A = this chain, B = another copy of it.
Amino acid sequence: MPASSSPVPFEAAPGAQPLYRQLAERYAQAIATGSLRPGMRLPSVRELCQRHGVSLTTALQALRHMESMGCAEVRERVGYFARVPGRVARLPAAREPEVHEPLAPDPNLFTGINERISVFLEKARRAGPDVLDLGSAMPAPSLFDAAALNRLAVRLLREQPDILVYGPSAPTTHPEFQRAMAHHAMEFGLHLAPADIGATHGNSEAVNLALDAVAQPGDVIAVESPTFFGILQAIEVRGLRALEIPCSPHTGISLEALELAARNEPRLKGVVVVPHLQMPLGSVMPDAHKQRLVALCMEHGLALIEDDIYREFVESPQTRRPLKAWDRPGDEGQVIYCASLSKSFAPGLRQGWMSAGRWQARVQMLKFARTRNMQTWSQLLAARSVDSPAYRRHLTRMRAQLREQREQAARAVARHFPVGTRLSLPPGGISLWLELPQGLSSSRLYDEALARGIRVAPGAMFSNTGRYEHFLRLSCGLPFTERVEEGYRVLGELLARQMDALSGGPGLLCA
């Protein structure tokens, strides 16, 4: 996947540039002119602050921006070093997202996501089930092994004829599910006691319970920016405030920015991180970052809520080790691990699980108070599947198919979308994150596409900052049929009309 690691040459943004870009450009020019030679150490964040009189965040953003331009590279725990930008990829790589200053959060940013999400979802609901879904980060049913699962289901009904009418009375996760998940977790380097595993209604309930356990209304929770809208929703509905932290498409959440926030925001109680295939950027945190993040949360007493729903979609098995693998064991743990089989195995079961470290007892209590036990049925189907060679074969097949679908989708974007569209091909997963040319609106595209029977996920769903209006998430969950190809063509056509409208061209007709 050259596109994900290849940089693009620096392009000056129209109009006045943010400070960090000006700073980055200064250094990029120094490299271009030879004042800075490749391999030379660049100033540290603090040195940049002192030298140029900018804030820590601006300095950090400048370095990250240089990194995304290909003018700088990070060497873990040493610093940033100058480098010469490499060749241009087939499609320009996604830029580092613009980020806001984490030290001066605007309270207005903290509300409204739910209303926005509800409006988008209600429109989708009304459009009905026959829409071409290029919006949801969910593999198509054909990518799962339904036949094997159904055979297992029939066998389970025969073996345990009471399974659908038996109601467990104590707040327990089924021991067979606990053992199976503990065993499964060992495969990706996570060692948990079965008793520390609790079943949940999907990953969503796990993250929600984690937030319930660690924070009170008015508290602050740090999140990646942009991030999965479900996380922003969960934060908003319980009266918490989301603090969006810059996130790189290559290495995930900015540890420096998070540390600054931890030092300066007394009500910061925790952070929600998607370490594997961050949604929507697709970044996979390097192990060294994972380790530093866990240490940082321990040092500052922050709950580290690990949303690991996309782990099985990471292509390289070497990079699938969860944050929780670096945590202290059992009830000393600072990491609340949340996972689900909904994306990788059986979306129809809604079977999630979690292991909450020192919040485990509280999470169990909260779970019981809210939704009682999870079905024995879905727990046993999951337990008996996940530990089998057939499951591993299924994952291998699914990863290969999704890789093909991602590449086909990227090619379709290249064919049909306006010049200036940028994307990174992520190292796995079910979706692409696109940056459209400035001025285009993915919210408008959402409405126009839905009217043509196509659903997308507009950038505005992924942040409270309003900075992603010209970003777009596209699902690669569907096999690339002619209907899908036609969908991309229509999206491209709608975007072209927006471009025309911007430049006063014929597209004004559809404004």
Contact = CB atoms under 8 A, between A and B. Distances in A.
A341 to B, nearest CB: 11
A330 to B, nearest CB: 16
Q: Indicate how many identical chains form the complex.
A: 2
A368 to B, nearest CB: 7
Contact of A370 (B150, B234, B372): B234
Given A165-B146, A365-B114, A170 B348 contact: no
Main secondary structure of the interface of A (DSSP, over half): helix
A28 B254 CA distance: 76
A161 interface: yes
B169 A124 contact: yes
Interface in A122-147: 124-125, 133, 135-136, 138, 141, 144-147
A12 interface: no
Nearest to A205: B371
A371 B374 CA distance: 12
Contacts of A334: none
Nearest to A343: B167
Nearest to A113: B369
A118 interface: yes
Contacts of A117: 365, 368
B121 A347 contact: no
B202 A369 contact: no
Given A114-B369, A170-B124, A361-B118, A165 B348 contact: yes
Contact of A369 (B163, B237, B361): B237
Contacts of A234: 369-370
Contacts of A372: 201-202, 204, 230, 350
A470 B275 CA distance: 52
Contacts of A141: 162, 165-166
Nearest to A349: B164
A173 B65 CA distance: 44
A157 interface: yes
A204 B349 CA distance: 19
Contact of A239 (B135, B202, B216, B381): B216
A118 to B, nearest CB: 5
Given A169-B136, A372-B204, A212 B237 contact: yes
A511 interface: no
Given A217-B239, A233-B369, A369-B237, A347 B166 contact: yes
Interface in A146-175: 146-147, 149-150, 153-154, 157, 161-167, 169-172
A124 B349 CA distance: 28
A230 to B, nearest CB: 7
A454 to B, nearest CB: 13
Interface in A438-460: none
Given A205-B371, A371-B202, A161 B147 contact: yes
B369 A350 contact: no
A212 B371 CA distance: 14
A375 interface: yes
Nearest to A137: B169
A149 B160 CA distance: 13
A56 to B, nearest CB: 33
Contacts of A371: 201-202, 204-205, 208, 350, 371
Interface string A485-499: 000000000000000
Contact of A164 (B118, B149, B163, B216): B149
B118 A370 contact: no
Interface of A: 114, 117-118, 121, 124-125, 133, 135-136, 138, 141, 144-147, 149-150, 153-154, 157, 161-167, 169-172, 201-202, 204-205, 208, 212, 216-217, 230, 233-234, 236-237, 239, 342, 346-350, 361, 364-366, 368-378, 381
Given A164-B381, A205-B370, 7 more contacts: A125-B171, A154-B154, A164-B346, A166-B347, A201-B371, A216-B217, A217-B217
15 contacts: A124-B169, A125-B171, A136-B169, A146-B161, A146-B165, A150-B164, A164-B348, A166-B347, A204-B371, A212-B237, A216-B217, A350-B374, A350-B375, A370-B370, A371-B371
Q: Which 6 A-B pairs have the closest CB atoms?
A: A167-B347, A136-B169, A144-B165, A233-B369, A164-B348, A141-B162
